Amino acid sequence: MGKLTTHVLDTALGKPAVGIKIELFHISGTEHKKIGSYVTNADGRIDTPLLQGASFKTGTYELVFFAGDYLDQTAQALPEPKFLDQIPLRFGISEDSHYHVPLLLSPYSYSTYRGS
């Protein structure tokens, strides 16, 4: 059975990003349908898969990571406006498989990949 998971690691501080808000959208043409809103736990993860079972379908999705709010909580000295605020990651699900989409975050950069 397919599922979608994510987690966030703060590479500047070398630890999981705790308390970062994430929203998930299904994208169809110009329509953005919000599926859910989540907050990372002490391990930088969401407690349950974002999609699984009947809700897991092929298509285009977008995760929005509210990095600016999280970075404010870390008490790092950052300019205003921050270089990174909301980070959208758009990706496709094309097969019934596990899609793990992590975010590696620092105040001035981020990266992602399809994990396992």
This prediction's pTM: 0.95
Q: Give residue-wise pLDDT tens across range 58-84.
A: 999 999 999 999 999 988 888 999 999
State the residue for tokens 């970062």.
Answer: 20
DSSP symbols for 98-116: EEE--EEEETTEEEE--B-
pLDDT of residue 91: 98
User: Which CATH superfamily, name and number, covers 3-112?
Assistant: Transthyretin/hydroxyisourate hydrolase domain (2.60.40.180)
Concatenate the DSSP letters of all residues of 38-56 into one string. Answer: EE--TTSB-SS-SEEGGG-
